[in-house]
Amino acid sequence: MSKDQKVLLWINLLGGSAVIGSYAWGILTHPGTGNLLWGNIPSRAIPPYIVSMIFGALGYLFFTYYLIFFFNPSQMTIQIKAGFRGIHTLYLLILIPSTFWMPLTYAMLSSPSSFLWISIRFALMLVGLGGLGMVSALLSIRPRSRLLLTTVISCIFFCFQTAFIDAFIWPSYFVLP
């Protein structure tokens, strides 16, 4: 494992813990209010939304595992301007705003404001942008392989969830009670 891959591992361990911690905080400090996070999404749309979330999360884990444990910097290249270090930036773009989504959303539920709404939308769009950048970075890896193709597909699942459903569908249904 290269130095850059070790850094990526730490980014994910710390950033992932922060995201999970923010979700745990939301659940523990706001018991029984989880349904409010769905806004006015029709109940029939929630199961497919959850399936998409699961595929997105599994996609994230798969492409992350690939970059940390299968990418070989001595035999492969990422043809983006910042190289593998650009991957670090993309992960930070995904993880940092993800950490703020639930606290911002609960703040919005308790004291609605335009600032909070814009902050939530901005956070969701940054995560989606990070995901789209990750697809681009993965597509730039040379040489290509079947495992890389599977990795790109897994990242597309993540992007579909973050750049489309979370950034555009969820906000259109999130209406305060």
What is d(CA 51, CA 165) in angstroms, rounded to the nearest whole number?
12
- Per-residue H/E/C for 50-67: HHHHHHHHHHHHHHHHHH
pTM confidence score: 0.93
In this structure, are residues 16 and 96 in contact, taking their beta carbons and an 8 Å threshold? no
Q: Where exactly are the structural domains of the chain?
A: 3-173
Per-residue pLDDT tens digits for 127-160: 999 999 999 999 999 998 999 999 999 999 999 9
What is d(CA 75, CA 40) in angstroms, rounded to the nearest whole number?
49
pLDDT lower than 70: segments of the chain: 176-177
Q: Which amino acid does the sequence have at 72?
A: N
Q: What pLDDT does residue 177 have?
A: 55
